[in-house]
Structures are given as C-alpha cells and as structure tokens.
C-alpha cells in the first residue's frame, strides 16, 4: 500500500482520528503500516461504530436540548437577568458551540475514517473545540470572582449587567485569541491506504515538534490549571465565609438561617459545575500534553474514550441547575405553564 501526500509538514498524533497510521515527520515504515492496519480493523468494527454513534448521539441530543432550555429560561425570565445568570448562559452557549461545530464532526470522522467536510470546516471544527473550552474555563473564573466579591464584600455594589456583558465579550476575545493557533495551523492531507482518504491534521511551523509541545503545554497550564487554581482558592474562601460566619444584614435567626442556606446551595451548585468541567476535561488534557511531549503513543480507543468523556460535560449543567437552583426550577415551571396556557384554545 502506498501513501501519496499533497502537502508537507509535521503531523501530530493526536489528530489521527481516522485510525490508520501514526505520522512522525513522515517516518513511515512497515511497522507503522502494521499498526495502521490494526487500527483500521478496530475502526471498521461494527460494534465499536454502533457504540460510538449511540454514545455521541446521546451527548448531542441532551446537550442541544438542555443548553437551549438554559438560554431560553435566562432570556425569557426577568428574574434570571442577574450577572451570574448571564455567565451561566455564556457557559450554555459555549457548550452549544462544541456540540454543533465539533462533536458531530469527530463522530463522522471516526465512522468514515476520512474527513468529508472540506478545508474550511477543518479549521472551524478545531477552533470550536478549543474556543468553547477556553470560554467555559474563563467564564467559571468570572463566576467565582463575582461570587467571592458578593459574599466577602456584601456592602459593595454588585457587578452590573452591562459590566457582566463587557466581561463576557472580553472572555470571547481572549478565548478566540488562544484558539487561533490551533485553528490556523490545520491542513488537509490526501493519501491512499486501500482507498483515497482525506484527513484534517495540524501543520505547525518548524521546529514543529517543539511548537506543538509548548503550545499544548501552555494551553494546559494557562487555560486549565491556572483557572482551576484561581477558582479553587476563591471558593475555599467563600465556603469558609458561608459555612462559618453570620450573614450581615439579617434581622432574625430564621432570616439568617434561610439566607445562609440559599448561599450555600448556590455555592454548592457552582462548585459542582466547576468539578464536572475539571473532571471531564482532565483525562483528555493530560493525554494531549503527554502525546505532544512524546511520552506516550497515540491510541484510538483511549483518545475516543477521553474525547467522549470530555464532551459529555456539555450535558450535565442543565440538570445541575434544575437540581440545585430553586429560581431556575421556578422560572422553568413558570415558562412551561405559560406555554401550555397559550397552546390551550379558549372557549368563546
């Protein structure tokens, strides 16, 4: 079997989603072809394909429905127009972005063992994955900082909605800037391995191996480790305040208990959202860093397990809000009741 390429450059192993051959500076030999053949057999396994289709389809359906509901509730309900609610809607938009522009493409790429979406979507899909994750991480930082200011300095004026929207705009600009290198350095490679295949792979500037290694390492530290460290410190301080100290401004003991219970529930909800994000994305982040550092070799089963687990994070937040946020549940019920009333014909 021969390999015919139409472009040159360095191809990182993490993006060998088509399950054929691992590329390291075009060092192709019989051992690699044997490995590629083995991986191709795995990708053609009907059971594996069926499981992946079901698993990814569940994520896509739940994420689209759940996050659309979150956006609808925040937009339609005036009581949900707080800064925290705007940040929560921003998380939902980021989840919708990766659900629409990355997850389906990853699934199709695996099932068909080729890229069928053209050059433009090769760049867009990669951008969507990184940008949505960066937006989520930075938004969680903004929520933690806002919560810290609200609880630690209750007498100070809260962040206004206008300022919140400005912060959201800044978050998207920062996330887009950090994601551009991953989107720009992408290319399509055509080759023959039994049949003509097309793959969407990165092509970094020389020295490509170092560029890839330090780009992924910087991304991991600056947009995963650092944000989670800031969030952890903020919520530890907030938790000590909420669980130990009395609330300023409460007149009666019952008032104090009710106020503290509401704040504790809010903190629990936000900490759970952060924990879900951190846990779901940790395996894939570690895999990427270890792979770009050449500590491990590419493994399709491991990659797709980690990728599915990471993207599944887009499904959980709506359920967390319904479970732990009384206002969200109340507004959702109110909107549902209004829609039913409108749908019921009136008797004249």
pLDDT digit string (tens) for 122-177?
999 999 999 999 999 999 999 999 999 988 888 888 889 999 999 999 999 999 99
pLDDT value of position 348:
42
pLDDT value of position 153:
86
| CATH of segment(s) 13-328 | 1.20.1070.10
**Orientation of helix 313-324 relative to helix 300-311, angle to 10°:** 30
Low-confidence ranges of the chain (pLDDT < 50): 1-42, 346-348
How many residues comprise the chain? Answer: 348
Burial 289-308 (b: 16+ CB within 10 A, else e): bebbeeeeebebeebbbbbb
pLDDT value of position 65:
96
pLDDT value of position 339:
62
pLDDT value of position 303:
86
**C-alpha–C-alpha distance, residues 90 and 324, integer Å:** 19
| Contact criterion met (CB below 8 Å) for 297 and 13 | yes
pLDDT value of position 19:
38
Q: How far, rounded to the nearest angstrom, does the alpha carbon of residue 36 sit from its chain's CA centroid?
A: 29
Residues with Cβ < 8 Å from 59, sequence gap 6 or more?
99, 103, 308, 311, 312, 314, 315
pLDDT value of position 57:
95
Give this prediction's pTM: 0.82
What is the 3-state secondary structure of 284-340?
Answer: HHHHHHHHHCCCCCCCHHHHHHHHHHHHCHHHHHHHHHHHHCHHHHHHHHHHHHHHH
pLDDT value of position 341:
62
pLDDT value of position 300:
78
pLDDT value of position 159:
87
């Amino acid at each position: 079997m021969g390999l015919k390429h139409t472009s040159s450059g360095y191809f990182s192993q993490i993006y060998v989603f088509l399950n054929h051959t691992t590329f390291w500076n075009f060092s192709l030999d019989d051992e690699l072809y044997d490995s590629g053949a083995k991986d191709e057999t795995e990708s053609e396994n009907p059971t594996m394909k069926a499981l992946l289709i079901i698993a990814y389809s569940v994520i896509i359906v739940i994420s689209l429905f759940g996050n659309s509901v979150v956006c609808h509730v925040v937009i339609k309900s005036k009581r949900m127009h707080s800064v925290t609610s705007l940040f929560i809607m921003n998380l939902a938009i980021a989840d919708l972005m990766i659900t629409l522009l990355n997850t389906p493409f990853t699934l199709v790429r695996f099932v068909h063992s080729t890229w069928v979406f053209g050059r433009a979507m090769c760049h867009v899909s990669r951008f969507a994955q990184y940008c949505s994750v960066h937006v989520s991480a930075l938004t969680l930082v903004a929520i933690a900082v806002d919560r810290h200011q609200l609880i630690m300095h209750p007498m100070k004026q809260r962040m206004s909605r206008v300022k919140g929207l400005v912060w959201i705009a800044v978050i998207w600009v920062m996330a887009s800037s950090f994601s551009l290198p991953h989107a720009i350095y992408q290319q399509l490679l055509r080759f023959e391995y039994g049949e003509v295949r097309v793959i969407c792979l990165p092509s970094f500037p020389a020295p490509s191996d170092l560029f890839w290694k330090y780009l992924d390492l910087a991304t991991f530290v600056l947009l995963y480790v650092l944000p989670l460290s800031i969030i952890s410190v903020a919520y530890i301080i907030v938790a000590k305040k909420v669980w130990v100290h009395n609330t300023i401004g409460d007149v009666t003991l019952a008032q104090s208990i009710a106020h503290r219970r509401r704040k504790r529930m809010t903190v629990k909800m936000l900490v759970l959202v952060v924990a879900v994000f951190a846990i779901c994305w940790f395996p894939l982040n570690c895999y990427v860093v270890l792979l770009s550092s050449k500590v491990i070799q590419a493994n399709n089963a491991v990659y797709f397990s980690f990728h599915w687990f990471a993207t599944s994070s887009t499904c959980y937040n709506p359920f967390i809000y319904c479970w732990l946020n009384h206002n969200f549940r109340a507004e959702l019920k109110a909107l549902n009741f209004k829609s039913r009333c409108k749908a019921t014909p009136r008797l004249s």
